[in-house]
């Protein structure tokens, strides 16, 4: 397929490379041009703006940092709404708000274009290895058309229905579950460490009995080692996603007190200078609230 | 070994049976005598009280419902402190408080007896199948002596050090992590269900991407199906354990705001008539707080 | 002074009447025209739209229900920005967001117009009796000019500095303090009532010892009597204001866990069908969470 | 009346002095003898132990720091149960748990002695000035007999019924309301200060509009001035009382999420070295969680 790919950050670069490997024709656009170099060597074409990238494409994928960037690429003067041909589709794969996804759905429909949301679970290494989990929602025929693309980028696609923004809601709920796991581990480790238990022995117990998911190994390991930098997923990004989850819950009228707690704690991490730390620095906050110092 | 086994509830019956199977000589005591029938047929002896069971035993295992029952069996007039020979040991395998475990350690030491704490993770089926995870703490030589017993009852033993009550703290922290997982799933399911997502599709996504631990499958499944009865682990028992975790955290000076939230929500479940429901009924509370009815 | 007054709800009608009484020339605009009848009889003029009301006025006061209404009146096609003469000022007295107040400040400055924020504390009876507390912020000369207007509507003006949106932040923080007081009373009454204490005796104790503020008498009385309807200030409005307080705190990077708790509880009140109840229905939620029924 | 007075701390000394002034015969006992000097000069007699103090007294008042001290004085070998004559009464005026108050009621009844609980609101200056608010519960005839004593020590007595422990529950709920007010002010001041509002101007607004109770003036003033030492009521004592309130609520089955939040925050204050600070240091915690330093 002929594809436009917009957003070549740590996630997008790997995803675009996998599309190329699978034989698709990929035209890329990124605000910082230097990020495209490797892809161009691998056969991608470069475009000067989103509309140019979308010109002639069957699908334009966005993988951008936040709502503002996605909004600019879609609605901006040389954006996707202007550039996509009728019948071509925008596939939003970044983590964006439910509200923006709804606006995109309306705008593309009004323009005679298709739209699907397909946010992903997985970190940059999973993106590079085509091991992403893809949460997709949109019109069934469109999702059918996109399936080869998802297969090239991920290990499995989960379809969440015909309303695109549903996939965004589900993705946000997943990041909430990740943060909730981190907070629970943060408090548990603070307790056992202050009581004198060896953190590594405790981690060994957890991850070899009932808490065997990747999320337990990854974040349990970071908290046991108190290794909060460099950030795999920085606290401000985690805070942003919890805010979006709460915004979605607010629209639905669903109180999520644990999400509120996560928001408040991540705000504290960031306010106290932890903007460059991984969101697992919730473990450090729990330790300091128990009177243990950073070396604790 | 010659063993006394006290407490033949849903967990203890299977554990005692596995000790018999492994060739140990087991004398049992249970307040309700009828629970011992199967074990007696399998070769166990019955004693009239804990002291009689402990008479001549190298180790006396308690697997009782709570602090009060364990305290009575240990400190009561015909209890273990009175019945165990010098050099013999009490092995407390139930979920008891850190404070009681400390009292037991002191009392048994003063009586010239050994003491280890070895609470377990696993439900009755795991107890029957000798698949428990055993969290043990106590003097190293004693744990060495007990290892064959633990091997007969569990799939793995995790040693948490020489202070017995440490194992109780770790066990309580584990139940906290279980309840935290339930609450997180409860809020996430409330959100996606109110937004119209199919709960089974959502469960399939979670448990086949990042949330693959047994705890996710078990409790995610119950919440997706809204099947809160019969109780695998009843809400009042969960509440009791969160209370004990908070009491331990209080003694250590460790704030655990997520544990506080769990306590408050489990209290609400019980106060609103859910005393007979599984602690995963936190899922029902989250749904009702979002205005969804029981059938929602 | 020649004044435009826009928004003749339960608060605005009394405020505009007091301006007339003080001898000011008042031109009113309200979306529902019938609300102006009494004021017209008292000497006010009616305008067809906000711009017409602002035509020739030295100051245009808005007292509208929310951000959306205020935004429409200010930025709309026949709005205040279009209608106010250079040098004339917009005085926003409704409870609006910090963000909207900042946008208004910028827009009016760009248009060569003045802008002050002057939200109020007080209920409709205080508005009618000219007993409002007015929290004002804006350029000192402008506030000096407006002082006679505030004196006609309120019992006291508190100046919060030169940045208008500061007054909005302070007003929102005040509504947070009100809601926090309600929640504290709600939980305390649930406790003592379930323990069998007579609510009226308890209220008598509180309001005659340490808790003697109007807020204690008003909300303690409603909760003691379990009289949540008719709403003096409806739960959805309280929820809106707590949301705005949290939004302001988010911008400043200030975690407010008690505000989060209030948001979640007010959402529950509304989600469970309490949209028509007073925000003191937090008292009913606390009682039901303790297993007491509505008649409890 | 002939009275025994036990516990001559900052509160008790003033209360005993006022009983002497009112013409009662007072025999005092305090663990540290030097605290009695002033009272002896004023006409009190000294006893060697609680039983000796109670010998011949119609009523024995305890005003002790906590449950442990009160328990020792009542149940100890030379305690009140041993020393009070049949028909004489123990009046517990300290802040003790509901559970201990129930045990005292049972024990004194079994001994043919009377028992009333009469905890107080007010700080040492109010105790000295006979301005305490006294919350009393017990058998009506006993309270009638005690009324002159209460009149000598306080400005008003509030009767909470015939079950003594009810007064303790009500007193604990009052301390919860105080702490809740402090937390609300703490968060509000953190918000407005970080936004650049002058704390004194903000305090002036609050305490002259809707928040006019003594609790607002006292704690608002301390937080505005960031004056957390010396402690009027130290954080560990506040934490103890919130724990007792939560314990009482737990027994009744009443979730109090705001009390849980207060407990966690006070634990953090103490764990981070604030054991010598006033419980209004919640204001400092809110500021630090917002990234403002101690000088912020």
Q: What is the pLDDT of residues B175-225, one digit of tens each?
A: 999 999 999 999 999 999 999 999 999 999 999 999 999 999 999 999 999
Q: Count of CB atoms within 10 A of residue D140's CB?
A: 10
Distance CA B150, CA B136 (A): 9
Distance CA A265, CA A249 (A): 18
Would residue D171 show up in a list of annotated catalytic residues for this protein?
Answer: yes
Q: What is the pLDDT of residues A62-93, one digit of tens each?
A: 999 999 999 999 999 999 999 999 999 999 99
B252–A contact, CB cutoff 8 A: yes
B99–A contact, CB cutoff 8 A: no
The yes-or-no verdict on residue A173 having pLDDT over 70 is yes
Burial grade of D118 (CB within 10 A; 0-12, 13-18, 19 or more): buried
Of the candidates C24, C73, C75, C23, the residue with the CA atom closest to the CA atom of residue C53:
C73
Closest residue in D to B268 (Cα) is D255
What's the whole-number average pLDDT of chain D? Answer: 96
Of the candidates D287, D184, D191, the residue with the CA atom closest to the CA atom of residue C160:
D191
Q: Measured between CA atoms, how close is B252 to chain A, in angstroms?
A: 7
B209–A contact, CB cutoff 8 A: yes
With contacts defined as CB-CB under 8 Å, which chain B residues touch C289?
268, 271-272
CB spacing of C267 vs A260 below 8 angstroms: no
Contacts with B, A 11-30, CB within 8 Å: none
Q: What is the pLDDT of residues B281-294, one digit of tens each?
A: 999 999 999 999 75
Tell me how far the alpha carbon of residue C68 is from its chain's centroid: 15
Distance CA B174, CA A211 (A): 9
Domains of chain C: 2-162 (3.40.50.720), 169-289 (1.10.1040.10)
CB spacing of A255 vs C265 below 8 angstroms: yes
Is the dihedral angle over the CA atoms A270, A275, A279, A282 positive or is it negative?
negative
C-beta of residue C118 within 8 angstroms of C-beta of residue C93:
yes
Q: What is the pLDDT of residue C294?
A: 56
With contacts defined as CB-CB under 8 Å, which chain A residues touch C243?
250
Distance CA A196, CA C291 (A): 39
With contacts defined as CB-CB under 8 Å, which chain B residues touch D265?
255
With contacts defined as CB-CB under 8 Å, which chain B residues touch C272?
288-289, 291
Q: Mutate which of A254, A259, A267 to disrupt the C interface (most C C-beta within 10 Å)?
A: A267
The yes-or-no verdict on residue B63 having pLDDT over 90 is yes
Q: Measured between CA atoms, how close is A154 to chain B, in angstroms?
A: 11
Distance CA C84, CA C77 (A): 13
CB spacing of A255 vs C267 below 8 angstroms: yes
User: Residues 6 or more apart from A223 whose CB is under 8 A from it?
Assistant: A182, A185, A186, A189, A199, A280, A283
- B52: part of which helix (H) or strand (E)? helix B50-54
Q: What is the pLDDT of residue B294?
A: 56
Q: Mutate which of D247, D251, D267, D272 to disrupt the B interface (most B C-beta within 10 Å)?
A: D267
C-beta of residue A5 within 8 angstroms of C-beta of residue A25:
no
Q: Count of CB atoms within 10 A of residue B114's CB?
A: 25
Q: What is the pLDDT of residue A295?
A: 47
Which of A174, A201, A248 minimises the CB distance to B160?
Answer: A201
- Chains with 3+ CB–CB pairs under 8 A to D are A, B, C
- Chains with 3+ CB–CB pairs under 8 A to A are B, C, D
C-beta of residue C120 within 8 angstroms of C-beta of residue C133:
yes
The yes-or-no verdict on residue A115 having pLDDT over 70 is yes
Q: What is the pLDDT of residue D197?
A: 96
- What is the layout of strands, in order, in the sheet containing A25-29? A45-46, A25-29, A2-6, A59-62, A89-92, A114-117
A247–C contact, CB cutoff 8 A: no
D103–A contact, CB cutoff 8 A: no
Residue that the structure tokens 């937080």 belong to: D223
With contacts defined as CB-CB under 8 Å, which chain C residues touch B268?
289-291
- For residue A193 the two structure tokens come to 């460490």
Q: What is the pLDDT of residues D197-243, one digit of tens each?
A: 999 999 999 999 999 999 999 999 999 999 999 998 999 999 999 99
Per-residue pLDDT of chain C (296 residues; tens, 9 = 90+): 999 999 999 999 999 999 999 999 999 999 888 889 999 999 999 999 999 999 999 999 999 999 999 999 999 999 999 999 999 999 999 999 999 999 999 999 999 999 999 999 998 999 999 999 999 999 999 999 999 999 999 999 999 999 999 999 999 999 999 999 999 999 999 999 999 999 999 999 999 999 999 999 999 999 999 999 999 899 999 999 999 999 999 999 999 999 999 999 999 999 999 999 999 999 999 999 999 975 44
Q: Measured between CA atoms, how close is B95 to chain A, in angstroms?
A: 16
Q: What is the pLDDT of residue C295?
A: 47
With contacts defined as CB-CB under 8 Å, which chain A residues touch D190?
none
Q: What is the pLDDT of residue D296?
A: 40
B258–D contact, CB cutoff 8 A: no
Q: What is the pLDDT of residues D24-62, one digit of tens each?
A: 999 999 888 888 999 999 999 999 999 999 999 999 999
Which of D243, D260, D270 minimises the CB distance to B263?
Answer: D260
Q: What is the pLDDT of residue A34?
A: 85
CB spacing of B184 vs A187 below 8 angstroms: no
The yes-or-no verdict on residue B295 having pLDDT over 50 is no
B250–D contact, CB cutoff 8 A: yes
With contacts defined as CB-CB under 8 Å, which chain A residues touch B208?
133, 156, 158
Which letter, b or e, does each residue of B195-218 get, where b requires 16 or more Cβ atoms within 10 Å of its Cβ?
bebebebbbebbbebbbbbebbbb
Long-range CB contact pairs, A161-164, < 8 A, 24+: A161/A137, A161/B196, A161/B197, A161/B198, A162/A137, A162/A138, A163/A105, A163/A137, A163/B196, A164/A92, A164/A101, A164/A104, A164/A105, A164/A115, A164/A116, A164/A117, A164/A137, A164/A138
Model confidence at D295, pLDDT cuts 50, 70, 90, reads very low
CB spacing of C195 vs D252 below 8 angstroms: yes
Average of per-residue pLDDT across D140-157: 98
Distance CA A169, CA A150 (A): 19
B110–C contact, CB cutoff 8 A: no
Catalytic member of D2, D21, D131, D171: D171
Of the candidates A182, A244, A261, A255, the residue with the CA atom closest to the CA atom of residue A216:
A182
CB spacing of B260 vs D264 below 8 angstroms: yes
Q: Measured between CA atoms, how close is A247 to chain D, in angstroms?
A: 21
Lowest mean pLDDT segment, chosen from A27-36, A214-223, B106-115: A27-36
What's the whole-number average pLDDT of chain C? Answer: 96
Q: What is the pLDDT of residues C246-265, one digit of tens each?
A: 999 999 999 999 999 999 99
Closest residue in D to A265 (Cα) is D289
Q: Mutate which of C272, C282, C287 to disrupt the B interface (most B C-beta within 10 Å)?
A: C272
| Residue ranges in chain A assigned as alpha helix (H) | 12-21, 37-41, 50-54, 67-75, 80-83, 98-110, 124-128, 140-153, 164-194, 199-207, 214-224, 235-252, 257-271, 282-289
D263–B contact, CB cutoff 8 A: yes
Catalytic member of A2, A35, A131, A171: A171
Lowest mean pLDDT segment, chosen from A10-24, B80-94, B282-296, D85-99: B282-296
- For residue A61 the two structure tokens come to 């994928």
- ipTM, two decimals, is 0.96
Strand stretches in C114-153, DSSP E? 114-117, 120-121, 132-136
Q: What is the pLDDT of residue B296?
A: 41
Model confidence at A294, pLDDT cuts 50, 70, 90, reads low
Q: Mutate which of C258, C268, C284, C285 to disrupt the D interface (most D C-beta within 10 Å)?
A: C258
Please give the positions of B annotated as active site: 171
- What is the layout of strands, in order, in the sheet containing C120-121? C120-121, C132-136, C154-159
């Amino acid at each position: 397929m002929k594809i436009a790919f917009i957003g070549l950050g740590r996630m997008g670069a790997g995803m675009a490379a996998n599309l190329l490997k699978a034989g698709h024709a990929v035209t890329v656009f990124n605000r910082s041009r230097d990020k495209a170099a490797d892809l161009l060597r691998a056969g991608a074409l470069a475009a000067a703006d989103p509309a140019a990238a979308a010109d002639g494409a069957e699908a334009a994928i966005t993988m951008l940092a936040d709502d503002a960037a996605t909004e600019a690429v879609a609605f901006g003067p040389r954006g996707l709404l202007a550039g996509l041909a009728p019948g071509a589709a925008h596939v939003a794969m970044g983590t964006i708000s439910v509200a923006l996804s709804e606006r995109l759905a309306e705008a593309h429909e009004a323009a005679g274009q298709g739209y699907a949301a397909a946010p992903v679970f997985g970190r940059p290494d999973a993106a590079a290895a085509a091991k992403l989990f893809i949460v997709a929602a949109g019109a069934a025929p469109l999702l059918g058309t996109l399936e080869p693309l998802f297969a090239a980028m991920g290990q499995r696609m989960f379809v969440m229905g015909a309303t695109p923004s549903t996939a965004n809601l589900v993705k946000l709920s997943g990041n909430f579950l990740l943060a909730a796991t981190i907070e629970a581990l943060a408090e548990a480790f603070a307790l056992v460490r202050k009581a004198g238990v060896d953190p590594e022995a405790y981690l060994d117990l957890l991850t070899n009995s009932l808490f065997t998911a990747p999320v337990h190994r990854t974040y349990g390991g970071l908290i046991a080692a108190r290794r909060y930098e460099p950030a795999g997923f920085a606290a401000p990004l985690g805070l942003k996603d919890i805010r979006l989850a709460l915004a979605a819950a607010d629209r639905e009228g669903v109180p999520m007190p644990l999400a509120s707690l996560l928001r408040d704690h991540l705000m504290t991490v960031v306010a106290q200078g932890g903007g460059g730390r991984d969101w697992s620095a919730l473990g450090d906050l729990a330790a300091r609230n128990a009177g243990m110092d950073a070396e604790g």
